[in-house]
Structure 1
Amino acid sequence: MNEFNERYDTDSVREFTVSDADAGPYALTEGPDGALWFTLVHRGAVARRDPDDGRVTVHPVGDGPTVITAGPDGALWFTEYRAHRIGRLTPEGAYSSFAPRTPEGGPFGITAGPDGALWFTLSSADRVGRVTVDGKVTEYPAPGAFPSALTTGPDGALWCTLNQGNAVGRLTTDGHGTAYPLPTEGAGPVGIAAGPDGALWFTEIGAGRIGRITVDGAVTEYPLPDPAARPHAVTAGPDGALWFTEWGGGRVGRITADGHVSSYPLSRTDCEPHGITAHDGALWCALETGSLARIEVRP
């Protein structure tokens, strides 16, 4: 168990140091126990921040834990990008992992699917996998190159960004895939989330834009004020807006359903914000330099 001190505070943003700068907090999610769980990508660990006293407990796992999500079985599930495995961790700290069928596939994104299983991307192998809570793995071809993040859509399908295919992909639970090309060349989509408006929202890290795609494939793109912002992850906030990290500018951005953009600066322009999630009525993001940032949602 480790204890760290808060280091940065403004009217809207508070930052909490949760690791040393080399550990690399990368992605985070609210766990079934109401705590905030996050990956330490360079430490080979998953950590828990207590919601009451802020204490951090670190659990060793496989190499390169990356994206994390709460599973339907009351455990935390995450990709181990460098170990090429899917990890599972109970709130009590019991760890296990499962190997995808394709070796060296580079698992990255993961989400709880609409069918009671966990779905994940194998970015290096252009495949999408499914693992049941008891460890049975199935794989399907991705609908394009380098599938990255993925989420469950309002239509009961899995939606993923195709980073090197410059497209957004849709995959049914029986493995049928469709790709929707993006209008902007070199957009490099990464993060994706279901929005409160019945559409999917995604980041274009290469183009400095936020995209929106309807379930029938209509795409709208919104340029950010800073073209070099390099938006990375995105999530739906408790206020009906979408929130995203600006990896290139050290900010957290907010976009409304009608395209109005605002942003919140973090403590350093080089703090490398990656994952973002709603938790306890606020937005939290992981800063790879060793902190978690809490952004207050104001009316």
Structure 2
Amino acid sequence: MDAPLAIHEFQLPKVASGAFSIVMGSDKNLWFTEYSGNRIGRITTKGVITEFTLPKANSFPYSIATGPDKNLWFTESNNNSIGRITPKGIIAEFVLPITNSFPTNITQGPGRKLWFTDGSANRIGSITIQGTVTTFQLPTPGSNPYAIATGTDGTLWFTEAGANKIGYMTNTGAFKEFALQTSSLWGIALGRDKNLWFTEGNLDKIGRITPAGTITEFQLPSSNCNPYGITLDFNGKLWFTEYTSNRIGYIR
């Protein structure tokens, strides 16, 4: 049995901030989005919090990732933009070329670029550290790409929440898709075994897909738990959130 974990919580300075996505920065601090508060936050490992307000109101910052330039990059889901913030708190914004985009999740990927999903435009996008944006149309209409992760070979893997598929894309825009029966694919993460692992909300399952496309599903013990986010820890365990059952779980 694992040893009990020590849990610490830190109150954010402003109410109703809507802390959402979090990542370790190159400065060894944790950086997070405040979806409702329209801010990017930074917290040290001792709990000291600093907040940075975005230039445009109601940008709804969603996901955040550390870039190859050691800055933090984030999606502005209601501002049609990708944002960048330096460890010193200097913010820049880059407008996407397609109007009414809704960028959601973002990850560091091949070519020293950040790669992101754009559900409303049905595209996968990339942005260089200089701010040049390129987007790629998914082959399935209305697929609503959501979570995104980089595979060991540099391919970009993503969930298609609107099409019941797992897809991958090369950095040149070649797509491959794999269909499932589930109607709520959400998170995806690279495992230590070099496979991609994903959550299947409506089926209460964790799925695994090999680089060749072989899919295996694992039923969770709790019913109606709706697994959502998933990530890999330093020991090779894949941790996931259970949205409706109020639990955190892991699989190994």
Whether TM exceeds 0.5 here: the answer is yes
Say which of 241, 246, 249 aligns to 1:286.
Answer: 241
Q: CA 1:153 to 1:245, structure 2 compared with 1: closer, same or farther past 3 Å? A: same
Q: Which residue number in structure 1 is paired with residue 32 of structure 2?
A: 78
CA distance in 1 between partners of 2:170 and 2:5 (Å) = 39
> Could you report, residue by residue, the CA deviation over 1:43-100 in whole angstroms, capped at 9, with x for unpaired residues?
xxxxxxxx95312211122521111111111111111111111111111111111112
Contact kept in structure 2, 1:108 and 1:120, CA below 8 Å: yes
Q: Which residue number in structure 2 is paired with residue 18 of structure 1?
A: none
Higher mean alpha-carbon deviation, 211-220 vs 92-101, is at 92-101
> Could you report, residue by residue, the CA deviation over 1:195-224 in whole angstroms, capped at 9, with x for unpaired residues?
112111011011111110100011111112
Compute the RMSD of aligned alpha carbons: 1.6
Secondary structure in structure 2 of the residue aligned to 1:253? strand
Secondary structure in structure 2 of the residue aligned to 1:125? coil
Letter of the structure 1 residue corresponding to residue 18 of structure 2: G
> Could you report, residue by residue, the CA deviation over 1:205-250 in whole angstroms, capped at 9, with x for unpaired residues?
11111110100011111112x242x111111110010111112222
Say which of 166, 169, 181 aligns to 1:213.
Answer: 169
Q: How does 1:50-199 map to 2 (within 5 A)?
A: 53-61=4-12, 63-144=17-98, 145-199=101-155
Letter of the structure 2 residue corresponding to residue 152 of structure 1: Q
Secondary structure in structure 1 of the residue aligned to 2:9? strand
Note the residue ranges of structure 1 that are not aligned, 5 or more in a row: 1-5, 7-50
Say which of 194, 201, 212 aligns to 1:258.
Answer: 212
Q: CA 1:52 to 1:139, structure 2 compared with 1: closer, same or farther past 3 Å? A: farther
Q: Is residue 231 of structure 1 aligned with residue 185 of structure 2?
A: yes
CA distance in 1 between partners of 2:102 and 2:162 (Å) = 14
Secondary structure in structure 1 of the residue aligned to 2:135? strand
Q: CA 1:227 to 1:143, structure 2 compared with 1: closer, same or farther past 3 Å? A: farther
Q: Which residue number in structure 1 is paired with residue 224 of structure 2?
A: 270
Note the residue ranges of structure 2 that are not aligned, 5 or more in a row: none
Contact kept in structure 2, 1:166 and 1:187, CA below 8 Å: yes
CA distance in 2 between partners of 1:194 and 1:52 (Å) = 31
Letter of the structure 1 residue corresponding to residue 123 of structure 2: A
CA distance in 2 between partners of 1:193 and 1:255 (Å) = 13
Higher mean alpha-carbon deviation, 270-279 vs 156-165, is at 270-279
Q: Which structure carries more relative contact order (alpha carbon 8 Å, separation 6+)?
A: 1
Higher mean alpha-carbon deviation, 189-198 vs 283-292, is at 283-292
C-alpha displacement of 1:255? 0.6
> Could you report, residue by residue, the CA deviation over 1:174-209 in whole angstroms, capped at 9, with x for unpaired residues?
111111001111101110011112111011011111
Following TM superposition, the consecutive aligned residue runs of length 4 or more in structure 1 with deviations greater than 6 angstroms are none
Q: How does 1:2-13 map to 2 (within 5 A)?
A: none
> Could you report, residue by residue, the CA deviation over 1:71-130 in whole angstroms, capped at 9, with x for unpaired residues?
111111111111111111111111111112221101101100110100000001111000
Contact kept in structure 1, 2:182 and 2:202, CA below 8 Å: no
Higher mean alpha-carbon deviation, 54-63 vs 127-136, is at 54-63
Contact kept in structure 2, 1:251 and 1:269, CA below 8 Å: no
Contact kept in structure 1, 2:182 and 2:203, CA below 8 Å: no
CA distance in 2 between partners of 1:80 and 1:132 (Å) = 17
CA distance in 1 between partners of 2:158 and 2:223 (Å) = 22
Contact kept in structure 2, 1:143 and 1:169, CA below 8 Å: no
Q: TM-score of the superposition, structure 2-length normalised?
A: 0.93
CA distance in 2 between partners of 1:52 and 1:80 (Å) = 32
Contact kept in structure 2, 1:143 and 1:171, CA below 8 Å: no
